[in-house]
Structure 1
């Protein structure tokens, strides 16, 4: 019989308990019955079946006497499993590390760069005790039901996105803010929007953080790692406070503000869903889920009211007219141009030179 078990289990990463389970199934014998016949504690048998406990010499001998399968089969099975498990875990560790933007993490000072300590540092970074079994399980931030505006992109860069998200969470742990207050947030929307006209990020970001903190929102700006396509993310923390994470990936005022208010939209409309929203592109897209449509609509309407779109469609598309209209609406010309592009009033290649662009040195990134 044991030769057939070898053929049925060519993948030695399946633990010896699986072979024992197959034998019991074939013999129609329960774990309780086996434990009683070979005089081994039932808990030990159950742990062996789950792969949580090794098959010892003593148990292997008892299995041979009762099941007719040689002791050497069980011991060889156990030895091979241990050997291949070590190789498997090493490969799993390498795959996990390869999925992370290690060079950027070292460059940004998130890791020390000591090669021999790399795995332990990454585990500490994610607050994990062991290497995750799947690449998407390493970000504590991303637990609890994640919704992505462009999930296929996220899957393609999952390690980089998880690192960016986790660093944002790490920074948020050091920041204090008031309790979450939805009513106050709604009252503060105009104060937030008024900052759209401030030219420099190192001037409007601190003020925006102060307003957010009043409302129970921690705003964190983290530089994106290589491969990370996220523009913004938001979730509610275990404390009940909210976290908004921004990357400034496109380094333009229109993209920043649309993404910021998109995240605010999630907090206002979806604050009871206990989900993490990761948004990778500010453009209007087809086939978006309802939550993303609602957040897009909220952000777009707050920046440029939908009621004025007919007027925008008819006005001249020259710089002077657009600047005059932007002043009237209380936003920067770049934001107006960006929204006109999103609504297909002007082409995406038109007037981009009038958007405010920033260098990394001009952006106040956190930690």
Structure 2
């Protein structure tokens, strides 16, 4: 017979079982005390679990109840063992509670447990054990790594929750570890991936699955991690293990913007991550208009790949200044068609460059 390794939440003293047994048999405590030659006060202490069952007492119980002495002794031994294990568990639980408190000051554990499907009803030490198993290390180690490079990001001036930002970064890190590209990344693949994406953007009906397929072909991980509250993140790029990774949030349900965000992150991979693989880049609404040289380089990479400079200049040289919104849209659509460009991409870039995001007569294409 196998020995169970399950430890009860509370140990069961054999006195509790004895109390139920004499109650079931309809024996009064006084009569039972007389049967086993014990003072009623001592029997009460035994039934409360304040005293142990000895060999001599177990033999008396066997004679009085016809229940083997070995049963009572085994129950007492199990109770003693459970008490020791539970005492150690309680010590470890207190340590885990302290550790969780430290983590809760820097991470949104409620969100993490929910996103990672970790049940909150279990012991704290069990929750942390599951979290560490999923992450592959102590969560504090990842947070320290994030903190050490946090200053390299372009921070947003909009309301930002630092705990949610760290939590999202942790979720992004886990997603990139899971979404391992099938093919190996080699120098120059970010450029090739950008060209391939832009080719399908302007020539065919495409979806996000096509972007993921192309990135995978060139050894680049692609993941979607929905944003958390007060985390103004559109895109993320980093070097994870042996491959570069891109993570998007779908903060805006706009296919054209998604394409630009992906190309922007490819710009970071092509121009910046190969120099320093410990940097994390985060893109948000302000990144588009950032004056930071690194962000400007990534923006420029996206712009020139998305629409060639000569074609864009041709569009901008057309007589669209001073036109009403509807006429601007019509002129850009016509020019895009003549140049073999995706009108939605052209209109998005026009709004991006002119900051005219409220341009009328434009229906954004949802991410598909």
The whole-number CA distance in structure 1 between the counterparts of 2:163 and 2:131 is 12
Match for residue 188 of structure 2 among 156, 163, 183 = 183
CA distance in 1, matches of 2:102, 2:318: 55
Post-superposition Cα deviations, 1:196-222, rounded to whole Å, max 9, x if no partner, equal 25898xx62222222212222111122
* Alpha carbons 1:97, 1:119 under 8 Å: kept: no
Counterpart secondary structure, 2:200? helix
Q: Report the equivalent of 2:256.
A: 254
Tell me which residue corresponds to 1:267: 269
- Equivalence for 1:343: 353
Cα distance change, pair 138–227 in 1 and its aligned pair in 2 (3 A) = same
Call closer, same or farther: CA 1:335–1:272 in 2, change over 3 Å. same
Distance 1:267 1:243 in 2: 9
Secondary structure of the residue aligned to 1:242 is strand
C-alpha distance in structure 2 between counterparts of 1:138 and 1:251, whole Å: 30
Using the size of structure 1 for normalisation, the TM-score is 0.60
1:302 to partner: Cα distance: 1.6
| Aligned alpha-carbon RMSD (Å) | 3.6
Structure 1 residue runs of 5 or longer lacking an equivalent are 1-85, 363-367
Say which of 311, 314, 320 aligns to 2:315: 311
Q: What displacement does 1:237 show? A: 2.2
**Corresponding residue for residue 334 of structure 2:** 324
Distance 1:153 1:91 in 2: 32
Structure 2 unaligned residues grouped into runs of 5+ = 1-92, 321-326
Counterparts of 2:103 and 2:361, CA distance in 1: 39
Give the CA deviation at 1:253: 1.6
Q: 1:282 to 1:351 in 2, by over 3 A?
A: farther
Q: Give the SS at the match of 2:221.
A: strand
In the alignment, which residue of structure 2 is the partner of 1:223? 226
Cα distance, 1:276 vs structure 2: 1.3
Give the C-alpha shift of residue 108 in structure 1. 3.9
Aligned residues: 264
Change (3 A) 1:330 1:257: farther
Q: Which has the larger Rg?
A: 2
CA shift, 1:130, in A, is 6.4
Q: Deviations over 1:52-71 (max 9, x none)?
A: xxxxxxxxxxxxxxxxxxxx
Q: Secondary structure at the match of 1:234?
A: strand
Say if 2:190 is the partner of 1:194. no
Cα distance change, pair 141–326 in 1 and its aligned pair in 2 (3 A)? farther
Of 291, 295, 307, the match for 1:292 = 295
Which secondary structure state, in structure 2, belongs to the residue aligned with residue 251 of structure 1?
coil
TM-score when scaled to structure 2? 0.60
Q: CA deviation at 1:350?
A: 0.6
